[in-house]
Chain A
């Protein structure tokens, strides 16, 4: 039973399109995150939510909009995709500030 699941695992799309990545956790955690991992493997936090409330919003373009319908879900919607958005996006969850459990990642390729 997967703890943190993301869909889709792979996403190939053209520039200018709008796409969404879904994330669900069944751990009962209060906090969920989105991270972006670039080609150099650097993991950068994008957003964190606690009980559906936005806590951290790093300097991410407005084209990225997280949505948390409930504390078990944190989706990421990206408008007007650009080549530079190509990366692996990881969802994670944690309880308070303890260890984070990660999904398997979504590899986004913008062509």
Chain B
């Protein structure tokens, strides 16, 4: 089965600073890649997704992610972080067998 690695368990950034959350995947075919965000006590909300085409995808809340096949990566970025971005972020990879796997998550803390 496919798998996802998020190397950073916890990241702290200052408000207004840029952000990059790392995600590496393992899958033999073309993956379907996702980033979700989970605020405390809430379910998961989709930020963006990549299926094919342009490797730089734009999402909601000013987030973007870039698919790099050569590095098996799908890193999430935001140029300027807001305090409301503090949450848990999950990278996920989907396969064409109705199987979606998530990384362990990265907790983002935003300093004032």
Contacts and interface: CB of A to CB of B under 8 A. Distances in A.
Co-assembled chains A and B: yes
Interface of A: 31, 33, 35, 40-45, 48, 50, 55-56, 90, 92, 94, 96-105
Interface residues of B, number: 26
B54 to A, nearest CB: 17
A100 B101 CA distance: 11
Interface of B: 32, 34, 36, 38, 42-46, 49, 51, 88, 90, 92, 94-102, 104-105, 107
Given A40-B104, A41-B107, A31 B98 contact: yes
Contacts of B102: 35, 42-45
A41 B101 CA distance: 14
A55 B98 contact: yes
Given A40-B104, A43-B90, A99 B46 contact: yes
A81 to B, nearest CB: 22
Contacts of A45: 99-102
A96 B51 CA distance: 13
Nearest to A32: B98
A11 to B, nearest CB: 15
